[in-house]
Amino acid sequence: MEVLQQESPGSCLTVWLVFAATALLILYLTWNYTYFLRRGIPGPLPFPVLGNVLDWKEGVQYALDGYIKKYGNCCGFYQFLTPAILVADPDMIKQIMVKHFDRFHNRMYIPVDNPMLRSALFLSSDDQWKKIRHTLTPAFSGRKMKLMSEMVREPASRLVQNLKKVCGTDRQGIVELKELFGAYIMDTIGLCAFGLNVDSQKNKDDPFVLNAKRFFSSLDFTSPAMIISMLTSKIPGVSHILPLLGLTVFPPEVLEFFIAIIDQAVEQRKTNKAAKTVDFLQLVIDSTKDNACEDEDDDDDATTNGTSSSSHAIDKKRKRQALTRQELTSQALAFFVAGYETTTTALCFTAYLLATNPDQQDRLIDEIDRLVPTAEDITYDNLKKLTCLENFISESLRLYPPGALIDRVCNQTTTINGHVFQAGDSVSLPIWSVHRDPEHWPNPEKFDPDRFNKENAAGRAPLAWLPFGGGPRFCIGLRFAMMEIRTATVMLLQQFRLEVAPETEIPPVLGKMGFINPPNGITLRVVERSK
């Protein structure tokens, strides 16, 4: 009996280890979740392990907006275990993104489980980011966009033909546009990035189309792999272990499919140099051959907030370096990742606002009929002459920016307007809230493209509008995305009017996990114009 009553040394040690681990976890969580309290930064109380993410169930953009309204333009919240300082003041944002860019040039660490994505421009940091950005910049210059503009017209023309078929059916022209716009963007990226004529608007079972859909459906922030990745993002090396446990954000076979396409395209260009194409891959390959410090950023698009010129501040004294094969593949994948959902979303909301603002649609049609009446008139230079269209798209992006926030990481203690940012601090810039701040946008819920007239925009803070970011790290694909949106919109309005249908959601339901997209699509009536 005495033997039975004795506790084994092993079980006693286990109890003590569990107790010690629990105590350490409690101490860590207490220390971690009192970070802002110790710093004197106001903000909502976090929930253990989850931080403030439970507040996001109705939408990240609404939660962040609520924090700002309650705690001010500089407050703190927790993304799971990671404390982040929320900054909604455009002057502070400008100092973070432009003036003190050298102290806030990196983005928050995102655990990526595939090495081919880790070198993507939007995920890279420090010297690797500088090298890749400098090398890629010429591929996105105004001159290169002019070369690609005709390629963009081809998928846009197919989009128009598909809409004409809808108008001729018994559906009375009522169509869900998100799928069609997504196919148009996929065709454009396939052609302009990889030199592939996919025609996903017709060939829905094409392997490229099926793998692309699988890829984007995996971008689910509620999936176990994504949640575990975000929870363990502060633990070094975990992103390499998760795939071994079967926890991958992106299906490995899908990534392998696109990597194989890119590798094949690169090899074809090496072996058949005579058949030169004008696409993203070729432009990047060409830009690494000439190490001259040529400044090709000759076309300061209005949508850069006037901060694009600062992108060369880090580059002018640097010679371009050839990208490694992995870096080149990573950029081609990134072109696809960053350009598909965001541009599709922007087109969806542009169409929605055209239908719900028929007077503004009339203005655009009048401008298009005067300046670009036919498809052949749609050139890069002619599109830039359409100021009403430019203002319309800018206002659409103000109301419905594709992303809810931009993030940066501080690398050196910096004081901005009396607020101290310490090295290692994560900083979140809430695009949605800044775009709807009545101090900078009177009557912010109203759709009013005239806000972007030169006289109205003159006194506004430049970074009160930032769907593409700002400063040296502004979206490098800005010009290409705007060319896609302008081309499709002009070609549509040359042939059709967009009208509200009984099925149209007003206002549209919005995505909740950081992407401000229409999860239910945008359903409108498409009516052929009588000229």
Q: Is 272 exposed, middle or buried (0-12, 13-18, 19+ CB in 10 A)?
A: exposed
Residues 6+ apart with CB under 8 A from 143: 296, 298, 299
Cβ contact 350:181 at 8 Å: no
Chain centre distance of CA 341: 8
> Which residue in 7, 290, 270, 14 sits closest to 134, CA to CA?
290
Question: 3-class SS at 198?
Answer: coil
> Which residue in 375, 347, 357 sits closest to 179, CA to CA?
347
Q: Is 475 annotated as a binding residue?
A: yes
Joined tokens for residue 54: 């439970």
Cβ contact 445:438 at 8 Å: no
Joined tokens for residue 267: 């090899």
DSSP secondary structure letters along 422-445: -TT-EEEEEHHHHHT-TTTSSSTT
Q: Rounded CA gap, 201 and 204, in Å? A: 7
DSSP secondary structure letters along 81-134: TEEEEEE--HHHHHIIIIITGGGS-BPPP---S-HHHHT-TTT--HHHHHHHHH
Q: How many CB atoms lie within 10 A of CB 207?
A: 11
Joined tokens for residue 46: 């976090």
Q: Rounded CA gap, 179 and 331, in Å? A: 25
What DSSP character marks residue 73? Answer: S
Tally of residues, the chain: 531
Q: Rounded CA gap, 354 and 521, in Å? A: 15
Cβ contact 452:390 at 8 Å: yes
First to last CA, the chain: 101
Instruction: Give the type of residue at 396.
Output: S
User: Residue 405's beta-bridge partner residues?
Assistant: 430
Q: Rounded CA gap, 522 and 296, in Å? A: 38
**CA distances, 208 to each of 151, 181, 256, 324, 521 (Å):** 19, 17, 12, 25, 22
Task: Pick out the residues of the known binding site.
Answer: 475
Task: Pick out the residues of the known binding site for heme.
Answer: 475
